[in-house]
Structures are given as C-alpha cells and as structure tokens.
C-alpha cells in the first residue's frame, strides 16, 4: 500500500477512533493464508456506492 | 494572580451563563485534544502493525490485508456520507461526486480482488501489483474528496 494512502487511512482512523481500528483488525483475523473463500468474501465488503444513499 | 482573577478585580466579571459557555467550550477543546491524541496513538499503532505484518506476511496475506483495510475505509466513509446526505448536510452535487469517486474505487477494488484470486491459482504477481497500485490511487482520491467534505 502506498504511503499516502496509508496516511489517508490513518487520518480516517484518527477521525473515527477506536471502533474503526478494531473493525480493521477484525478483518485481518484469518488463520494462515487467505483461502479462495476468504478472497471471495472480500467482494461482499464493498457494495456499490449508490446503495449507501438509498433508503431515505 | 490568575488571569481570571485579574479580570474579576478589574471589573470584567462574567455572567454565570457566559462562564458556563466558556467552561463548556473549554471541555470540548479538551475532549477534542484527547480524541486527537488517541487518534495519533492509534495511527502509530496501526502503522507499526501494518509495517510489521508487511515484513512477516506472505504476498497473498499482505494483499488480502490491504484489500480488507481499503474495504473497511470505503465502507465507513461511504456510510458516513450516506448519513450526512440523509441529514441534509451534503448537497446532491456532493453526493453525485462522492458516488463517482466511489465507483472509481469500486471498479479498482473488484479488479484487484479478481487479480488476487487469479494470483492464488497462477502466481501472477505483476498483475496483482498493477491492480493494487490502481486501487491505492482510487482510494487516495476517494478519501481526499471525503476530507474536503467533512473538513479537518
């Protein structure tokens, strides 16, 4: 990961605090090498941007 | 003699209400400073954790962690923007622009996940690296735009 992106994420973490840091660490909590299932699970973590603005 | 006492003796007496307001402001500043300090410590902790995991983790695990971290950052920022839009704190134009940046990230992210999936079978490292660089750029742009909306 590029340093600028890492810093940007760091700033976001600083803004949102401990829960954000913990949720990142939770996503890393897999045993050993990521399997194909773990990688496939990554897809569900990023829904399309429009979905965040629906429901109001 | 403290500044407050000096003011008091000079006749610059504060009303109880203004004193309460001042104290509330001061408490808020202290809270902000505490939060900033906590944020700094978390940042340092995460940086050390990321660097140490990058040194020790395999390429697949490192790429996986990068993708998971990016996904979490995207999810939190998009959720925040969605809430801000629902509360009327951002305009339609800002929402549309956020969606554009979000789409850039979404495309780069899913391409990187596909590349990582292929890598775990074929071990084609250059393809993953290229997609990771594109992902990093898209996330950087997205987070930079988010910062302009919420301010520092």
What would the two tokens of residue B102 be?
A: 């979000």
pLDDT in tens, B93-144: 999 999 999 999 999 999 999 999 999 888 877 788 899 889 988 988 888 8
Q: Mind giving me the DSSP string for B56-78?
A: HS-HHHHHHHHHHHHHHHHHHHH
Instruction: State the nearest Cα–Cα gap between A19 and chain B, in angstroms.
Output: 10
Which runs of consecutive H residues, i.e. helices, occur in A17-51? 18-27, 36-44
- This prediction has a pTM of 0.67
Please answer yes or no on whether B143 and A9 come within 8 Å at the CB atom.
yes
CA B91 to mean position of chain CA atoms: 21
Q: What value of ipTM does the predicted structure carry?
A: 0.76
Q: Which residues of B touch A43 (CB under 8 A)?
A: 110, 113
């Amino acid at each position: 990961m590029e340093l600028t992106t890492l810093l940007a994420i760091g700033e976001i973490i600083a803004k949102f605090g401990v829960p954000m840091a913990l949720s990142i660490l939770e996503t890393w909590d897999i045993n050993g090498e990521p399997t194909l299932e773990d990688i496939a699970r990554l897809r569900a973590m990023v829904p399309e941007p429009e979905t965040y603005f629906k429901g109001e | 003699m403290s500044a407050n006492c000096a003011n008091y003796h000079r006749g610059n007496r504060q009303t109880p209400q203004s004193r309460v307001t001042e104290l509330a402001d001061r408490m808020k500043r202290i809270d902000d400073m505490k939060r900033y300090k906590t944020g700094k410590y978390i940042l340092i902790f995460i940086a050390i954790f990321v660097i140490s995991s990058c040194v020790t983790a395999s390429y697949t695990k490192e790429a996986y962690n990068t993708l998971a971290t990016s996904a979490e950052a995207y999810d939190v920022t998009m959720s925040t923007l969605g809430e801000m839009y629902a509360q009327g704190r951002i305009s339609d134009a800002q929402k549309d622009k956020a969606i554009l940046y979000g789409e850039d990230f979404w495309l780069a992210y899913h391409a990187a996940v596909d590349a990582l999936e292929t890598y775990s079978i074929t071990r084609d490292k250059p393809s993953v690296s290229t997609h990771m660089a594109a992902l990093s750029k898209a996330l950087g742009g997205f987070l930079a735009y988010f910062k302009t909306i919420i301010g520092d």
